[in-house]
Amino acid sequence: MTENTLKGKGEKARIRLNALENEISLARKMLKDIHDELLKIIKEKDGDIKNIKPQSTFLGNLKLRSMLNDMSNRIEFEFNGLKFYIDFTLVPLERDDLIEINGSIIYGTNRTLCFSECIYPDKTNKKKCENCERILRCDRLEDKPLIHFLVNRNGIIKCKDKLEDEMWTKKNNKDLLDLHYRTLDLIWKDALDWTNEELLP
């Protein structure tokens, strides 16, 4: 069926899908800008703010959890002795029979699937450890998402539960520095509790 033979509901669906493509492109670009700014904050020791402590220590930016094309890679960093990550993806919100695409920023932590370093290392065995029988993820870590932010088409970042303020990424990138530290303040205890979950009775 060619495009010019669509009528009624089919034509309406095609228009919605075309609009959706544009929404996805805008949201992806917004997330890319946020990703780059957060990466700068973490890599360059919190941007241009001098002698700020505690600081995040950059660990890597090579992994991608989202299955969507052209999404920004995960940012991994260490803060006060715990490993954290920031993932980026897109989420749909349905309003008045229209789908709005929002960017999503997820802060989380991770812990080892076994011991912090394998005591029976076997470099040739890619599937699982002979002793603990665990199926290994390629980085031997388990993720725990802790807080989730939505970014709308206007660049406003919101978190429904834990942070009530709205932050405007388009107007002031310093808002991202504020967001970064307030988020870590909110989630650090939860991250430590989860990291210790299998150690404590």
Our CA angle for 180, 182, 183, nearest 5°, is 65
Q: Kindly give the parts of the chain with pLDDT less than 50.
A: 1
User: What pLDDT sits at residue 123?
Assistant: 60
pLDDT score of 133: 57
Q: What is the pLDDT of residue 44?
A: 75
The side-by-side arrangement of strands in the sheet containing 75-79 is: 57-60, 75-79, 82-95, 98-112, 141-151, 156-158, 167-168
Q: Where are the domains of the chain?
A: 27-195
In this prediction the pTM is 0.82
